[in-house]
């Protein structure tokens, strides 16, 4: 049974996912990027292949360990892709967005795909039916919205998201929740309207930990897949580590 570990080092969390052949098995959060943490993980799963997507300044020593213990690929704009990037500076595209675009092309070929990823930031990633990643948009994520309202005001508190809130809010806490959570929902709905009105053969995917919640509140048909980025990493790993 061929095992692959895909690493996703984002601004908020360091995560990994394990695949057996092409089947997603599990994912988890890493406590850190120390060498002993990575070595322990490799000992546990003994993968044949590994791939790393990182948008942070991670511990570069782990790349040596991954290369020694597996067939390793570090994702970058120089990687072999299943799509093209006809944008001004392809080297500035985050590797997380490359993985999302790869998943869209792999699972929904010949579609005009919009992949919306809910993370520290919300990224809107548009890949047309000719497999061209054309960009999209980036906006503050839900947690960032809560924190910024607290950080940049004198009196507004930091509140936690709760899904049962009134849109017409009645106190400070529910006003902040409505502004952040409903605000994200209406923002996503607005982008979906923009793309559906301009493109036929359109497909939309929502991913990230809270994707299922937001998908329920959207009128446009949208696929929710919390593991979409990892599936894209696996697809790119097969292309680059074949």
Active site residues: 96
Query: In this structure, are residues 228 and 97 in contact, taking their beta carbons and an 8 Å threshold?
Result: no
CB 101 within 8 A of CB 83: yes
Number of neighbours of residue 8 by Cβ within 10 angstroms: 25
CB-neighbour burial class of residue 201 (10 A; exposed 0-12, middle 13-18, buried 19+): exposed
First to last CA, the chain: 16
Tokens at 31, concatenated? 């406590």
């Amino acid at each position: 049974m061929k095992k692959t570990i895909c690493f996703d080092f984002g601004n908020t969390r360091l995560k990994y996912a394990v695949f057996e052949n092409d089947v997603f098995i599990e994912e988890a959060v890493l406590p850190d990027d120390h060498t002993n943490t990575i070595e322990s993980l490799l000992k546990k799963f003994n993968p044949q292949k590994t791939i790393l997507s990182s948008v942070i300044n991670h511990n570069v020593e782990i790349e040596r360990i991954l290369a020694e213990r597996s067939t390793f690929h570090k994702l970058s704009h120089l990687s072999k892709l299943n799509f093209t990037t006809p944008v001004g500076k392809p080297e500035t595209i985050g590797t997380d967005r490359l993985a999302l675009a790869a998943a869209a092309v792999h699972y929904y070929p010949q579609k005009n795909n919009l992949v919306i990823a809910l993370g520290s930031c919300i990224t809107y990633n548009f890949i047309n039916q000719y497999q061209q990643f054309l960009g999209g948009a980036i906006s503050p994520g839900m947690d960032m919205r809560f924190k910024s309202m607290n950080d940049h005001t004198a009196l507004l508190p930091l509140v936690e998201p709760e899904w049962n809130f009134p849109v017409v809010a009645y106190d400070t806490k529910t006003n902040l929740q409505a502004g952040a959570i409903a605000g994200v929902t209406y923002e996503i709905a607005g982008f979906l309207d923009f793309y559906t009105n301009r493109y036929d053969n359109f497909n939309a995917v929502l991913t990230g930990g809270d994707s299922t919640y937001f998908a329920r509140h959207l009128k446009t048909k949208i696929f929710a897949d919390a593991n979409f980025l990892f599936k894209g990493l696996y697809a790119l790993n097969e292309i680059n580590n074949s």
